[in-house]
Amino acid sequence: MKMRRHRVFLLCTVGLCVISFLHYYKALHYVSLLRELSAPYPNIKSFIMVTGFFWREKGAAATPLSPASPEEAPPLPVLRQSDSKGRPPPGSLGGGGGGGGGGGGGGLDLGIGGVMVGGAGIIGGAGLEMRLREEPAPPHPWEKPEENHRGDSPNEERVEDHLKPRNPSHPAHPAGPDLPEVPLAARDHHVVIQKDTLPDPLEMMGDLHTRTHQLQDDKTSYFVRTKAGALCFRQGTEVATPKEYSGKSGGSVVNGAGEGARAVAAGQRKPLEVQQQPSLAPKAKVRSRGGNGKRLVKCVCRPGWHGPYCGVPTMVYHSNLPTKERLTPRETPRRVINAININHEFDLLHARFSELAQAVDLFLVCESNFTAYGERRPLSFLRLLLNGTYDYVRHKILYVFLDHFPDGGRQDGWIADDYLRTFLTHNGMSRVVGARPDDVFVINDADEIPALDGLLFLKLFDGWTEPFAIHMRKSLYGFFWKQFGSLEVVSGCTVGMLHHVYDGDGIKLRRREYYTMPGFRKYENDTGHILVQWSVGSPFHFAGWHCSWCFTPEGIYFKLVSAQNGDFPRWGDYEDKRDLNYIRDLIRTGGWFDGSQQEYPPVDPKEHMYAPKYMLEHYERYRYLLENPYSRGSRLTEG
């Protein structure tokens, strides 16, 4: 009798240990251990069913044994295909949708709450004007900077053309004027900041920096349901053409992934409206159709797209996301908020807006009238915003103005660097109206551009964990100097996690592990979500671009003298490092300011993820970033 009690006690103890281990393993990896064990042994699947007694997951495809099929998706609301572009809500910030920006002559309504700018009152797009003198005065960060006067030398040569499109037939954007980086004049290879002679944009800002923005639901029809019942992501699904199916009613359909479908030009494709043949998805539902017997209902994925809905891009498919089997499309897309700080990265900013406007619902753009070094600077982005340069995306921009320099920022530059992101998030998000806890918040540096496909996935699917990082292609001075590996930066989470775990502070999201934050456990318990960090992309499948020091030589000079007093050595303090000829030589060789020479892998401009699509489409405008402008032979071949 005593032995029997010991056996019962021992069995109970072992059972509790097994259950505790399974819960612990799931909390760490958020994957089913038994799924891995059952892969080569189908007989164990019956045992896995028992695990549902210990934990249950809600929603379709709750276990790895039942991946979601296109028929199990939640019913989607009826969406008009014509609503392919978000409309600015009444009273929302901005108003210009795309018109020519810049305008001249008569009055120009910029759509910024009644501000009218006309004739001579239109602010030029040059923004910050800089000129060159014989002996540039070194920066003085510990005192109020003095404003320099315009040089009187008749031999000064203006070089705004360095930053204008070299080919007039390839404007920077079809709906806007030329986009200056930092217009300069060159002589003796030195640069000094020149007093801004144009009207002060602060006088015209009004309440632009205090307005709120009402988020609206995205009504775009991202998914389509076929006659056979499959729910497919439009962009990722191969579409059958009239030649690929018979004219008989109810006849069979030729596989959309066949050779005929691939040979059809994109302009000849029509919306998905026919029944689909079986695909590679092994677990799609089986339906009976008259005398045709059983056949699979599925979406035929285009190259680069995966999953039963053809909505998982390659960068997610090859990521370390542990819940790929639980992904399901949303009835209502999330709203995506992208927050950035801007200095003078205007070319990269245009590439960001053009690359991400389809997925991002709101851009929070923060600008300060102080550099990270503590010196005053003109509000160049605000000037461009007011003169119509960004009218094509104006309704999605919320301007955040930082009018002070943080205490201690001069002594410790990292205080200033962190404060920029803290202020951006606190001020910007406090002015966003209608945000839901499951909306997506992404914060980037100005030289970090996420890929569109990754943000679309986050916007349209449920089932991924948070927070998430982004693997970005690393390059220096331009996309022609590609660095080994990838840059992995924690960049985003849901709005709920941002507020409840990171206290609404963007720098904590980027630099603090979520499990060190006091609110993360409560957030897990309240939401029922297990927080597991993952990364969009991988070191071999990039999900964005990080282009460091990607400017003209004059732009690099301005970055040198604007850098914070903390990223040592501060190369802007050395006069020889500010010489434009020296900077040009660095761009030519790919060297660094300390004299070192890096090893770079060979690059091909035709390779996948070489540069943002918008830059490649406007090649002449961005040629200085796409090919080495100082190499003897061009590194890129136009095709």
Reported as a pLDDT band with limits 50, 70 and 90, residue 531 is: very high
**Residue from 323, 314, 296, 304 nearest 237 by CA:** 304
Whole-number Å distance between alpha carbons of 72 and 185: 63
Q: What are the residues whose beta carbons fall under 8 Å from the beta carbon of 92, sequence distance 6 or more?
A: 213, 214, 216, 395
Q: Is residue 64 part of a domain?
A: no
Give residue 193's pLDDT: 42
Q: Which H helix or E strand runs over 264?
A: none
Q: What are the residues whose beta carbons fall under 8 Å from the beta carbon of 544, sequence distance 6 or more?
A: 448, 449, 450, 451, 454, 470, 471, 472, 473, 536, 537
Do residues 409 and 294 share a domain?
no
Q: Is residue 98 part of a domain?
A: no
Whole-number Å distance between alpha carbons of 353 and 545: 14
Q: Are 401 and 206 within 8 A, CB to CB?
A: no
Give residue 571's pLDDT: 85
Query: Which pairs with CB-CB distance under 8 Å and at least 24 residues apart come from 402-405?
Result: 402/366, 402/367, 402/368, 402/369, 402/370, 402/427, 403/368, 403/369, 404/370, 405/368, 405/370, 405/374
Whole-number Å distance between alpha carbons of 339 and 397: 10
Do residues 361 and 491 share a domain?
yes
Q: Are 251 and 290 within 8 A, CB to CB?
A: no
Mean pLDDT of 481-501: 95
Do residues 158 and 296 share a domain?
no
Do residues 428 and 356 share a domain?
yes
| Distance between first and last Cα of the chain | 87
Q: Are 535 and 561 within 8 A, CB to CB?
A: no
Do residues 367 and 479 share a domain?
yes
Domain finish residue from 250, 278, 313:
313
Domain count, the chain: 3
Do residues 517 and 372 share a domain?
yes
**CA separation, residue 214 to residues 361, 430, 454 (Å):** 10, 11, 24
**Residue from 340, 499, 354 nearest 435 by CA:** 499
- Longest Cα pair distance anywhere in the chain, in angstroms? 110
Do residues 353 and 494 share a domain?
yes
Do residues 490 and 439 share a domain?
yes
Q: Is residue 557 part of a domain?
A: no
Cross-strand bridge partners of residue 301: 237
The more confident residue out of 49 and 388 is 388
**Residue from 218, 225, 617 nearest 439 by CA:** 218
Q: Is residue 69 part of a domain?
A: no
3-state SS assignment for residue 440: strand
Give residue 566's pLDDT: 64
**Residue from 565, 556, 505, 145 nearest 372 by CA:** 565
CA angle 56-317-513, nearest 5°? 70
Structure tokens at 387: 């003169």
Tell me the percentage of the chain whose pLDDT exceeds 70.
61
Reported as a pLDDT band with limits 50, 70 and 90, residue 95 is: very low
- Over the stretch 581-600, which tens digit does the pLDDT of each residue have? 999 999 999 999 988 988 89
The more confident residue out of 36 and 571 is 571
The more confident residue out of 196 and 585 is 585
Asked whether the predicted pLDDT for residue 34 surpasses 80, the reply is no
Mean pLDDT of 192-211: 69
Q: Is residue 466 part of a domain?
A: yes
Q: Are 357 and 612 within 8 A, CB to CB?
A: no
Mean pLDDT of 458-471: 97
- Pairing type for strands 336-341 and 440-444 reads parallel
Do residues 267 and 341 share a domain?
no
Domain finish residue from 522, 548, 574:
548
Whole-number Å distance between alpha carbons of 332 and 226: 19
Give residue 309's pLDDT: 95
Do residues 392 and 474 share a domain?
yes
The more confident residue out of 315 and 63 is 315
Reported as a pLDDT band with limits 50, 70 and 90, residue 87 is: very low
The more confident residue out of 627 and 123 is 627
Let me know how long the chain is. 639
Whole-number Å distance between alpha carbons of 601 and 608: 15
Residue-averaged pLDDT of the chain: 72
Structure tokens at 57: 């997951």
Q: What are the residues whose beta carbons fall under 8 Å from the beta carbon of 110, sequence distance 6 or more?
A: 95, 96, 116, 117, 386, 387, 388, 391, 394
- Over the stretch 226-280, which tens digit does the pLDDT of each residue have? 888 889 999 999 876 545 444 433 333 333 333 333 333 343 344 344 333 333 3
- Over the stretch 538-560, which tens digit does the pLDDT of each residue have? 999 999 999 999 999 999 999 99
Structure tokens at 481: 């100097």
Domain finish residue from 51, 69, 91:
51
Whole-number Å distance between alpha carbons of 186 and 332: 53
Give residue 4's pLDDT: 77
Q: Is residue 75 part of a domain?
A: no
The DSSP code for 196 is P
Phi, psi of 330 (to 5 degrees): -90, 150
Q: Are 323 and 463 within 8 A, CB to CB?
A: yes
Reported as a pLDDT band with limits 50, 70 and 90, residue 107 is: very low
Q: Are 514 and 441 within 8 A, CB to CB?
A: no
Q: Are 517 and 418 within 8 A, CB to CB?
A: no
**Residue from 322, 600, 626, 615 nearest 485 by CA:** 600
Give residue 562's pLDDT: 84
Mean pLDDT of 203-215: 88
Do residues 425 and 502 share a domain?
yes
Q: Which H helix or E strand runs over 257?
A: none
Secondary structure tally for the chain: helices H, strands E: 17, 25
Do residues 205 and 122 share a domain?
yes
Q: Is residue 147 part of a domain?
A: yes
Tell me the percentage of the chain whose pLDDT exceeds 90.
45
Asked whether the predicted pLDDT for residue 448 surpasses 50, the reply is yes
Q: Is residue 565 part of a domain?
A: no
Which structural domain range is residue 15 located in?
2-51
Whole-number Å distance between alpha carbons of 477 and 482: 9
- Beta-carbon neighbour count of residue 543 at 10 Å? 30
Q: What are the residues whose beta carbons fall under 8 Å from the beta carbon of 360, sequence distance 6 or more?
A: 336, 337, 338, 396, 455
- Over the stretch 382-425, which tens digit does the pLDDT of each residue have? 999 999 999 999 999 999 999 999 988 888 878 888 999 999 99
Mean pLDDT of 610-624: 95
Highest mean pLDDT among 139-153, 276-290, 425-439: 425-439
